[in-house]
Chains A and B, each alone.
Chain A
Amino acid sequence: MYLELKNINKSFAGFKAARDVSLGVEKGSLTALLGPSGSGKTTVLRIIAGLEAPDSGEIILDGRSVNELPGSQRGIGFVFQNYALFRYMTVYDNIAFGLQVQKKNKKEIKERVVELMELTGLAGLEKRYPNQLSGGQRQRVAFARALAPNPQLLLLDEPFAAIDAKVRGELRLWLKNMIHRLGVTSIFVTHDQSEAVEVADQIVIMNEGQIEQSGTPLQIYKRPRTPFVAQFVGDSSVIEGYERFAGFQRVPGADKAVLRPEFVECFRPDNKKLAAAMGAMERGTIQEIVFKGHCMELTLSVQGAGLRAQRSLERRPVQLGDEMMVLIYRMYVFDGENARLLENQELLKIPPDQVPAAQM
């Protein structure tokens, strides 16, 4: 582990912004700190950077406790939520600042700045001021500025928040490649899960100052451990009385379930290959059809509940009011604290090659 937080607590005037936060970050990895607004992501980042002192707990960097070490000596580069570029300095001076402060010689500074400007695609902009740059360019200046003094750990607070959707997509892949190329251990904050999933090696999910779960994106998606994670991740909707659906029995203590569109599939009733799985399915009618670009999203009324499913544009077209056979493959059920995966029991009884799938 390159960075470890152990039981970090932090209160602001009685308000607990971080409770018992523990996490580990591998050297060279890219970790996403994901959570809703106000969940304490920035607070945790600032504690790591030494901009905020924890009330209790330990920060271990490269094997030694850095609680008493000022932020400037922790070898950290920080990209602020709104970049915090020096408004009255040129792009060149912004990037050079960290090196100038370290009293490096002029030639060395120049080489490093030029190298970084090339790397980040800013060459030619050295004389501009931050307010003469586009959002994406500012973001890259902030990135170059943080990297200039060769930090061991790079912290980025919502690095893409201020950038429009299309550029954001490009920029985050760029950032991911850049970070992996440089091999600098990085943590970035986001409240956008697609960003976290696409970019991160590890996702840490925060809620109300606590860490709910950490793991690879796949683990988070497939094995949400808490009700919060089950609901927060993916395109989830919560339903009650899940035991009314074929193939699912009530789990004691758990009275709610989380469904995602990819857990639900629907077929036209005249589909010949459904025979074996009839007992695992429900009847439903199409209540709503939303065109999503890459597919249709259907809302089906099944036993009084509205379930969402996606339907490929390649399949036979359907219309509002059509009666469909609805198959729920699985769902997450949860009680107060734990979430667990529940498979459709009826589906387990039939041979795998007879389970209906969307390609049929």
Chain B
Amino acid sequence: MKKTQTKRFPLPVILAIFFAACFLVLPLIFVIVQALSQGIGAYLANITEEYTQKAMLLTLKTTVVVVLVNTVFGLFAAWTVTKYSFPGRKALTTLIDLPLSVSPVISGLAFLLVFGRTSPLYGLLEGIGLKVVYAVPGIVLATLFVTFPYISREMIPVLSAQGRDEEEAAALMGAGWFTIFWRVTFPHIKWSLLYGVVLCTARAMGEFGAVSILSGHLRGKTNTLPLHIEILYNEFRYSEAFAVSSILVILALLVLVLRSLIEHRGRKGEA
């Protein structure tokens, strides 16, 4: 009995490590190996190719816009459902999670119905010269929708655990909502907010399903990195596909590192 307790690698641990290696680490290594299979020069040529660069730029732009917008709205959503009582508060809390339970493809189709040619909105937007479907705004909208819950979900538990006392004390002393938010609430949530932002960033960069439906796959115009990879793959340009994939993999690893740094800092801040 004592022996099994002191053993460093009991069976469940070995199994977990084995699965992690097979399903998480190996594929990533393969991606990198494949990407570099024709030498570093070819790799660099692949990732600096014109359309790849454009796709990368579009992905970055989309991500920045999406993360900014979702930070603001995610904060508001989390704040209102935890610090205020109003009719429909429960329903709103559930609604925030909706994008997580709907397949991204279906979200994309829904947006297509709302903004596509068959919708009355289409004419209206056309009138003011705004093209949503098969254009950048559609990509941004789809990504916004899919990644919306990530930030508020991180903050709702922290905000509700904290209670409303400090905010009430501040309000009684005559502080306005912005002062209350900035000086009282924000210090409590800054680490979980940052954590949410990182998750949202990762998800926004990799979004495929919803974006794929709304983008129209116009090379150099509405292709994001994941879509670009798919096209390269379908055209049997494997080494290029893997080279571009490696960019996303590197970004993902970067996010992982950031994530654990933030978790570490956040825990220290708690103490």
| B169 with A78: CB separation less than 8 A | yes
CA distance A66 to B179 in the complex (A): 25
A149 at the interface (CB under 8 A from B): yes
Among the stretches A83-91, A204-212, A324-332, A335-343, the one at the interface with B is: A83-91
Give which listed residue, B165, B168, B173, B188, contacts A97 with CB less than 8 A.
Answer: B173
Number of A-B contacts (CB under 8 A): 51
Within 8 A of A (CB), among B178-193: 179, 183-184, 187-188
Interface of B is mostly: helix
* Given A86-B184, A87-B188, A88-B188; A102-B168 close (CB under 8 Å): no
Does the CB pair B175–A101 fall under 8 Å?
yes
Within 8 A of B (CB), among A93-113: 97-98, 101-102
Determine the chain B residues whose CB is within 8 A of the CB of A213 once the complex forms. Answer: none
Are B168 and A84 closer than 8 Å at their CB atoms?
yes
A106 to B172, alpha carbons, bound, how many Å?
21
Binding site for A on B (CB under 8 A): 165-166, 168-175, 179, 183-184, 187-188
Q: Tell me whether B175 and A82 are in contact (CB under 8 A).
A: no
Within the assembled complex, what's the spacing in Å between the Cα atoms of A88 and B175? 16
Q: List 28 A-B contacts (CB under 8 A).
A: A50-B172, A51-B168, A71-B171, A72-B171, A72-B172, A72-B175, A73-B174, A78-B169, A78-B172, A80-B165, A80-B168, A80-B169, A82-B165, A84-B169, A86-B166, A86-B170, A86-B184, A87-B188, A88-B187, A89-B183, A97-B170, A98-B174, A101-B170, A101-B173, A101-B174, A101-B175, A101-B179, A145-B169
A residues adjacent to B (C-beta < 8 A) = 49-51, 71-73, 76, 78, 80, 82, 84-89, 97-98, 101-102, 145, 149
8 interchain residue pairs of minimum CB distance: A84-B165, A88-B187, A98-B173, A72-B174, A101-B175, A84-B169, A101-B174, A71-B172
Chain A nearest CB from B109 CB (Å) reads 40
Which chain A residues border B166 with CB–CB below 8 Å? 84-87
Question: Are A49 and B172 touching (Cβ within 8 A)?
Answer: yes
Residues of B contacting A49 in the complex (Cβ-Cβ under 8 angstroms): 172
A227 to B82, CA, bound (A): 42
Chain B residue contacts of A80, Cβ below 8 A: 165, 168-169
What is the bound-complex CA distance between A85 and B174, given in angstroms?
Answer: 16
User: If the complex has contacts A51-B168, A78-B169, A88-B188, are A102 and B174 also in contact, measured as CB distance less than 8 A?
Assistant: yes
Complex CA distance for A80 and B168, rounded to whole angstroms:
10
Q: Which residue on chain B has the smallest CB distance to residue A131? A: B271
